Each structure stands twice: as C-alpha cells, then as structure tokens.
Amino acid sequence: MRDAVERFQRAQALFGDRVDAVPAGAWEQPTALPGWSVRHLVGHLVEEQRWLTPLLRGETPEDIGDRFSGDLLGDDPVGAWEAAADEALGAFAAPEALERTVILSYGETPAAAYCAQMTADLVVHAWDLAYAIGGVERLDDNLVTWTLAYAEEHVDGSGSPGLFEAAVDVSDTADPQTRLLARCGRRT
C-alpha cells in the first residue's frame, strides 16, 4: 500500500510542477480537452483532491453535495492546488486509509482502487497541462508505464463525454507515453 501512496505523491508532483509553470496570462488558454481551459483543468484536479478527505471519512457524494463546486482556485491557483494536494496526500497517507471503502458516484470502491484512479488521472492531466502551456510534455517513465498498464485494464477506449475522446489509433510499437495518451484520446 505504501507504494500506491508514493506513486500518488509522484503523480501529484508531476502535475504540480506543471501548475507552477503556468505563465500568468495562460490560465484561459485551451487544453487538449474540448471546452476546457487551463484554469478549468487545474480547477478540476483541485476539486478531485478536495473530495478525497471527506470520501475517506465515509461521506457519500450526496453528503458532499456542491461543497466543492464553483471556483476553487480564486486569485491564487497555485496556492489552491498546493493546499488541495497536501490535504489529499495526507488523507491517503493516513494509517489504513487504503484499506477503507469509499462511496463514489458509481458505488462502493476500495480506497486503494480510488488511489490508483486518482494517480492515473493526475498523470494524464499533467500532459494535458504541459501541452496547453507549451511546457515539458515528457512524463516520468515509471509513472507512464504504470498508468499505461492501468489504462489498458480500466479505460475501454470508447471515451468519456466531457473527460476524454475515444482512443486514437497508434502503432503497437509506439513508445509507452504515446500509447497511453492515445488510449485516453489525446492526439500528440
């Protein structure tokens, strides 16, 4: 379980490095996600991080309601990301946190599986953010390899409205990052 938390922390750092690199005037730039700006993307990840603690405490999506709706970035998007990421990491790192069950919109899920989902989301969105701001698009090889294996098992390639497009065809010999991004509907 410790490996899962460490991998989550590395994925947070990967995304956080890109948040730190967002130029002041780039928050409204479009991303690879249809209809999403840089601000929207970072806000989405802040919201996901903020949901983590109450879910691990046993709250349901209905209990949480719209608590984390709206503009969570305020005037300090970087600070909002850092605070949310620190809180989420603390929640997953708490003793026995990954042995719990959380209730998500689609039902009960082992917290360890939720951690894996959140990790994969951070890795793919790190590329989205880098792509949008013209930053470093090359992702950590170990995280890419792990996330590709996760995506091959959990992402069917048909897309998810509002989150990612259908898978893009690439050669079986393409590098792991290209295959991961293609699986998640990203065109590199």
70-92 pLDDT per residue, tens:
999 999 999 999 999 999 999 99
Domain span at 102: 2-137
Q: What is the pLDDT of residue 42?
A: 98
Q: pLDDT band for position 15 (50/70/90)? A: very high
> What is the average pLDDT score of the chain?
92
Q: What is the pLDDT of residue 2?
A: 86
Q: pLDDT band for position 101 (50/70/90)? A: very high
Domains: count for the chain: 1
Q: Specify if 180 maps to a domain.
A: no
Q: Specify if 158 maps to a domain.
A: no
Q: Specify if 93 maps to a domain.
A: yes
Measured between alpha carbons, how far is residue 51 from residues 69, 118, 141 in Å? 11, 11, 28
Residues recorded for the chain: 188
Q: What is the pLDDT of residue 17?
A: 97
Q: Specify if 66 maps to a domain.
A: yes
d(CA 144, CA 174): 13
143 within 8 A of 10, measured Cβ to Cβ: yes
> Residue 9: which CATH number?
1.20.120.450
Q: pTM for the full model?
A: 0.94
Q: Specify if 163 maps to a domain.
A: no
Q: Specify if 153 maps to a domain.
A: no
Q: Specify if 19 maps to a domain.
A: yes
Q: What is the pLDDT of residue 163?
A: 58
Q: Specify if 172 maps to a domain.
A: no
